[in-house]
Structure 1
């Protein structure tokens, strides 16, 4: 006020506040809310949040915790990504008893808004305060932490899954369906097939029980029952789709086909609403795709053209489709240059775009892409096309390093050493740079 020659009413007007309220704040007779702090900060020409660190240390740390002031402050910090301030406030609150439930509810609110980093701080602290209790709240915290920790680093994805899986049974029966689905998907992207089988079977069993209970439930009670994210039969069908993939990975194509035909026939589902019909259509389509895949991997090369025609018109199936084709080409020594040429533009576009597509999450897409370009490198080496072979091998090594996939890093090193004599000076230099990067990252 002195610097800008303002009287109290001028500052109040700039901050869009009542002069009496402003007077009480300045004279220390009124507590300062975060909304009032934001208004005054902007009136002074500073961005919102400019004084948040001082607000914590000079005001909140000295006052008795007041949730009505703390809650909006944490929310604002979340939106401004002021995570250190959230840490400080939560530490103040966790020293006091009785704030665990409030922090949990706020964490759920932040999670729904997509403010995952801030929500994670709250979940971690609530989980820490309840770690000795066999509570559903603790299980939900661990589930949310598992969800927020899923990213590009596959080692960390694995660690998060292992940490969470012991809490699944503590969730309520409906929440367990999504949790089992998410766990199975993570292990699927890591090709941990024994884990996929374990959680897929549990998912199928629980979904079947819930579906039968839903059918027997009185119509008046169905409205109040907790609803899952997807129709109950879709979880059951997904468990068989996962087990289809497990059998395929173990080269048991006959058993894989049995699972394919199981989830492809959903004629027993009684509902006829729009959502149900859409899911039935999807599973019928996936069953058709995976029937092609299992027959192809089993050596029925005659289905190749039909399979390519199938995934050519379905964007989300292009990467899995090409991956299956190139894997079969390497196994049975097929020439699929004409197929690769057809999708040349799409293959190049895949290099930098790895977002989730349709039902495939980002982790699945990344892993499938890494597997695909490794198989492409093998394909070109088998054809003595060393230039393209090394191009895709180095691309695979680079991507594997970025996502910390040690299994593929080792595969790439072994493949490189097998064809080292054919590597150009430039290729050797590029390889050394990537290996140095692997060492730096500690992979």
Structure 2
């Protein structure tokens, strides 16, 4: 189509080419002949609706959305574009994935910033209906053109962009977190809770312990404030409207204390950590719990029991091993972090845990399988569990090297390198490669060849297929 082509010229050419009258074209398109006449002959011509452009496109024999670029001019034909019609058009473009057309319309709309409210509303409608990917172009438009840097609308847009940007790549997740974090306190409290939840996860995955602790403290403070506000609202004279959050409020409350305890545990401050574990061990006092809230309380109770055992084990108390192992067997979802705790303690205190490795050998083999690697690269498993899986393989490798089981150790270290690479955890890659280099002389020729291939794969696929670049590493 030439630049001079319009929707009306397309219709007229079609009528002349096929000898259509307004009546016959109306029948073919499903549009009343009077409307067809008004679209072509009125002065000014009758505006075309989004539904009508779709019907006309089909009647002309074109693919769905083929006339949308011409329809952009139709939308902006008047000095004051019709916001409702443009909104309907943009939603339709989103449904068809026509991002270039959306960008063209948004560019035209932003010549008058009063339409920013419309754009934000469209973004929210798409996001809340589950169309997260489609909403991001609108949120980015708001973020780029919002004049008031402390506006709630800007903060929510940045929050939505942040949530949509979190993926498998731990380094990338950290970058988008740092870009967003300055907006967190400008959000409404219900969004702040979830924002802190996500920020903590990202910092934890990158072993940014100071930041993790800082935001855990912030989540503890905020959740306590929100709880007090909710109680005050419940006792007030006005009808109580519960705060709407992505997760039950008790989940955020417990998570702040859980993460704080984990950070203290990582720093070897086990007695202090126990104080925080005791806070979320029993949250049954929480008011207004729904079914999900009760499930969350039960999960925290289970985690508290496990984490108390964890702290005892990390302090070298082997007497709790039988009870802890039984707990893991009764709660399969806790096996991964539980085994990681056991291996850390074994490596720290020089403990023998061969019997535990034997008991859970089938589970461990699943973490070592090629099938798991394929699943991980396709987004399988929560980000923190992917990290724990890599950490477990690394800790088992340390243990097996220490016990001179070199074949098993090397198999685990290759697995840790690969998983760390998939999630772009460069520190983990460095530690794993360093450990292998320490014991390189014990590797067979076949293992050395596999190791070289692993390194080459990392060098050849930087940031693609889930691998980081290893070129700066040992050769």
Instruction: Give the structure-1-normalised TM-score.
Output: 0.88
Which of 363, 370, 374 matches 2:394? 374
Distance, in Å, in 2 between the alignment partners of 1:10 and 1:352 is 57
1:298 corresponding residue in structure 2: 315
Greater gyration radius: 2
Q: Distance in 2 between matches of 1:26 and 1:319?
A: 69
Secondary structure of the residue aligned to 2:265 is helix
Deviations 1:58-101 (A, max 9, x none): 54466654322221222222223322222222112112220111
Q: Of residues 18, 25, 28 in structure 1, which corresponds to 2:32?
A: 18
Listed as ranges, the matches of 1:43-442 within 5 Å are: 43-56=59-72, 59-60=74-75, 64=79, 65-130=81-146, 132-217=148-233, 218=235, 220-221=237-238, 223-224=240-241, 226-271=243-288, 274-331=291-348, 332-334=350-352, 335=354, 336-344=356-364, 346-347=366-367, 348=369, 350-354=372-376, 362-440=382-460, 441=462
Distance 1:25 1:165, change over 3 A: same
Q: Which moved more, 1:229-238 or 1:398-407?
A: 229-238
Higher mean C-alpha deviation, range 367-376 or range 421-430: 421-430
**Alpha carbons 2:169, 2:422 under 8 Å: kept:** yes
Report which stretch shifted further, 250-259 or 393-402. Answer: 393-402
Q: Secondary structure at the match of 2:114?
A: coil
- CA distance, structure 1, for counterparts of residue 255 and residue 85 of structure 2: 45
Question: Offset of 1:144 from its aligned partner?
Answer: 1.1
Aligned length: 439
Distance 2:340 2:458 in 1: 25
Q: Which is worse superposed, 69-78 or 42-51?
A: 42-51
- The 1:378–1:60 alpha-carbon spacing in structure 2 relative to 1, beyond 3 Å, is farther
Deviation at 1:231, TM superposition (A): 4.1
Which segment is superposed worse, 176-185 or 31-40? 31-40
CA deviation string 1:134-167 (max 9, x = no partner): 2111111111111111011111110111111111
Q: CA deviation at 1:288?
A: 1.0
Alpha-carbon distance in 1 for matches of 2:342, 2:300: 21
Does the 8 Å contact 1:356/1:365 carry over to 2?
no
- The whole-number CA distance in structure 2 between the counterparts of 1:5 and 1:324 is 80
- 1:4 and 1:194 mapped to 2: Cα distance? 73
Give the 3 Å change call, closer, same or farther, for CA 46–229 of structure 1 in structure 2.
same
* SS in structure 1 of the partner of residue 448 of structure 2: helix
Query: Alpha-carbon deviation of 1:271?
Result: 4.8
Instruction: List per-residue Cα deviations over 1:268-293 (Å, max 9, x = no partner).
Output: 43556544433322221111121121
Shift of 1:132: 4.6
* 3-state SS of paired residue (2:238): helix
- Encode CA deviations 1:267-321: one digit per residue, 9 max, x unaligned: 5435565444333222211111211211111212232232232233434323222
Contact in 1 for aligned 2:250/2:296 (Cα 8 Å) = no
1:437–1:10: structure 2 CA closer, same or farther, 3 Å change rule? farther
- CA change 1:407–1:345 in 2 (3 A) is closer
Q: 235-244 vs 364-373, which deviates more?
A: 364-373
CA distance in 2, matches of 1:45, 1:315: 58
- Structure 2 regions of 5+ residues with no counterpart? 1-13, 463-467, 470-475
Measured in 1, the distance between the counterparts of 2:17 and 2:447 equals: 64
Distance apart, 1:356 and its partner CA: 8.9
CA RMSD of aligned residues (A): 2.9
| 66 and 214 in structure 1: CA distance in 2 versus 1, 3 angstrom threshold | same
